[in-house]
């Protein structure tokens, strides 16, 4: 069965620090990859996604993620975080060859200190 691992449960950064959140998945075939974000008190919303093409994907609010097939990874990055980036971040994977359901990681809570 597919699984998604997010290595950090809680990350605490100061504003302007760089961010990298790890995500690894177990499925060996074609995959669709997603990062979702849940700001305090708000809906879970899509940050960015990868289906095919350029493995470096740019999302909203200055976030990007790189798909590295050989490492089964899809790490999320942002060069300089802001206090408003405080949220919980979820990585998700889906078997790209079917209408398979999303498998989510356990989430990483990011706290940015002003």
Partner 1 sequence: SQTIHQWPATLVQPVGSPLSLECTVEGTSNPNLYWYRQAAGRGLQLLFYSVGIGQISSEVPQNLSASRPQDRQFILSSKKLLLSDSGFYLCAWNAGKSTDTQYFGPGTRLTVL
Closest separation in Å from C-beta 4 to partner 1: 8
Closest separation in Å from C-beta 25 to partner 1: 13
Structure tokens at 31: 């995959």
Between 51 and 83, name the residue whose CB sits nearer to partner 1: 51
Which residues, other chains included, contact 28 with Cβ-Cβ below 8 Å and sequence gap of 6+? 72
* Residues 38, 28: Cα–Cα separation, whole Å: 28
Q: Which of 82, 98, 83 is nearest to 2 (CA)?
A: 98
Closest separation in Å from C-beta 15 to partner 1: 25
Between 36 and 112, name the residue whose CB sits nearer to partner 1: 36
Kindly list the residues in this chain that would bind partner 1 in the complex (CB under 8 A).
Answer: 6, 9, 32, 34, 36, 43-46, 49, 51, 90, 92, 96-99, 101-107
Between 49 and 77, name the residue whose CB sits nearer to partner 1: 49
The DSSP result for 21-48, as a single string, is E--EE---S-EEEEEEEE-TTS-EEEEE
């Amino acid at each position: 069965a597919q699984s998604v691992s997010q290595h950090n449960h809680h990350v605490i950064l100061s504003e302007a620090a760089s961010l990298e959140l790890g995500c690894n998945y177990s499925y060996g075939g074609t995959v669709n990859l997603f990062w979702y974000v849940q700001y305090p008190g708000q809906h879970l919303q899509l940050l960015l996604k990868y289906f095919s093409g350029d493995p470096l994907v740019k999302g909203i609010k200055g976030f990007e993620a790189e798909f590295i097939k050989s490492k089964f990874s899809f790490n999320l990055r942002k060069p300089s975080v802001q206090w408003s980036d405080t949220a919980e971040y979820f990585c998700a994977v889906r078997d790209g060859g079917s209408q398979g359901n999303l498998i989510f990681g356990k989430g990483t809570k990011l706290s940015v200190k002003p």
